Chains A and B, each alone.
Chain A
Amino acid sequence: MSDITKQSLTDLVENIKNKKLSSSEVTKAFIERSEKSKVLNAFITEDFTSALDKAKKFDQKPNLDLKLPGIPMAVKDLFCTKNVKTTAGSKILNNFVPTYESTITENIWSEGAILLGKLNCDEFAMGSSNETSFFGNVQNPIDKNLVPGGSSGGSASAVAGQLTPITIGTDTGGSIRQPASFTGTVGLKPTYGSCSRYGIVAFASSLDQAGPMAQNVKDCALLQEVISSFDSKDSTSIDFKRSHYSKELTNDIKGKKIGIPKEYRVDGMPKEIETLWQKGIEYVRDCGAEIINISLPHTSYALPTYYIVAPAEASSNLARYDGVKYGYRASGDNLIDMYEKTRSEGFGAEVQRRIMIGTYVLSSGYYDAYYLKAQKVRRLIKNDFDEAYKKVDAILTPSTPSSAFKIGEKTNDPVSMYLNDIFTVPVNLAGLPGISIPAGHDAKGYPLGLQIIGKAFDEQNILNIAFAMEEKINFKNKISDWWIK
């Protein structure tokens, strides 16, 4: 079966359960394709030999009651995997081999999945194009020299390029949804507190949330079902009744009220994004949903708020990288000199920039003016959503203000890079779930995404809306395999 890698997760699971395919066959197919796809630079660490061993073992004694029976998959290199190197895309963790497993990956392996390897990402998940990785930029399977988005760029590239059937990413300000939008794939950022943060390299702890990335909504729902769990090892994990997202998935969204926020019509947004949005509105209307115009008045303050809160938390989280207990160490004349050189040589430019912004906004004399101010505005942004959700069940917006851009196009202008996340950042600040689905192409043939934002813990509802829209949109990703000779 030469088309194994083209199959959706749902199909692969069914074929393994019906014994039409073995785990070894599936694993081998993805490894062979990955071997031919080194140009994409999607992997930081490959674990192929061990994956084949595990697949063989699975086939000898297959447990077909599991949700991901013998399914091979690669994960973002931000999740700690026991005895497999975990770098967070940084030189400072280049030699770090965790002695423990993240809760989310633990959940995945216990449902029968097999690790293929660790996927490239922006350094410490700080970036929107995967260009800040110590391990080099990632190519977008859509076109040569195009960024896959970020920070989960390797994850998005690997799903779109069919190097893995599904994957997990993390999303602090848009790092799952923006790359999903850039690569024509589906990405869900769950409600804050629904997926455990234990064992995920921390960036900004009040915003970080892991989530599934896949070729379609149903696969995304199934993976969400596996990774979402209450975990006492994460103090912000929330104990709520989790739905069987894939089983309860329905395209019946009749009578649902969908909000259209006028503030997301930003200056300079390309006309094709507006057209796509209008098409999206038509699709949900066709499905029997009701469209309601709403206002989220503090939307334009979300990015400035984010660029205080996230760096502040990052500067504190990244204080642990001091060359003492693990990771890279530079030699120095004394202890302080060792710290300063280790961090100067070990962190890349963007990470240093954000640590310094964070240190500044938290420093004596500036705390109230910046950090406290941002926390107050964060409340106003959350209040906007609370008000809106009195009138609507979900909100529909574009995922990004543009399609994927060329490698190197925005690296010299941090602010223009940050503007990529204008539609995704408010969702993290308010702790809400959001999903990006591919909804069309721009004039260049690059994919464009639409985002559905839900109420807290209402993943099922946005998955249903996404599922209904997916059927109407009937999106076909244009992957020419340009990188395979």
Chain B
Amino acid sequence: MSIDLKTIKHISKLSRISVDEQRAKKLVGDLNSIFDFIEKLNELKTENVKPLTSIAETTLKLRSDEVKSKNIREQIIKNSPQDNKDYFVVPKVIE
């Protein structure tokens, strides 16, 4: 299997990371060498193996739904990239 320029552009779109032509070409080489290395896993037969999804196979604990933080709007907004006291501001979405 090999990853071509078209695939890189598709992944770039899915990842929401814009890449220029030069960078995309470099990524073709990088990702192919990494996937060549990853292909080694195909040596193993794993039809009957149960996937390991979490190392701490515990069931999630239930807790009561209590409000623990109050009036922290200022704290939440504090790191907002665009200054505004009340909201997060983004570029216009609806024309």
Which A residues are closer than 8 A to B by beta carbons? 95-97, 99-100, 192-193, 206, 232, 235-236, 238, 298, 300-301, 303-305, 307-308, 315, 319, 322-329, 332-341, 343-344, 347, 352-353, 355-357, 359-360, 363, 370, 372-380, 382, 414-415, 418, 430-431
Contacts and interface: CB of A to CB of B under 8 A. Distances in A.
Nearest to B43: A301
7 contacts: A97-B79, A301-B40, A307-B37, A337-B91, A340-B18, A356-B11, A380-B44
Nearest to A325: B88
Contacts of B51: 372, 375-376, 378-379
B33 A415 contact: yes
Contacts of A363: 11, 14
Nearest to A209: B55
A307 B38 contact: yes
Nearest to A371: B51
Nearest to A358: B15
Interface of B: 3, 7-8, 11-12, 14-19, 27, 30-31, 33-34, 37-44, 46, 49-56, 58, 60-61, 63, 72, 75-76, 78-82, 88, 90-93
B-side binding surface: helix, strand, loop or mixed? loop
A374 B39 CA distance: 11
Nearest to A350: B30
A334 to B, nearest CB: 6
A377 B39 CA distance: 12
Given A192-B56, A329-B82, A380-B44, A341 B18 contact: yes
Contacts of A374: 41
B58 A238 contact: yes
B60 A235 contact: yes
A418 to B, nearest CB: 8
A274 B87 CA distance: 60
A334 B92 contact: yes
Contacts of B16: 319, 322, 336, 339-340, 343
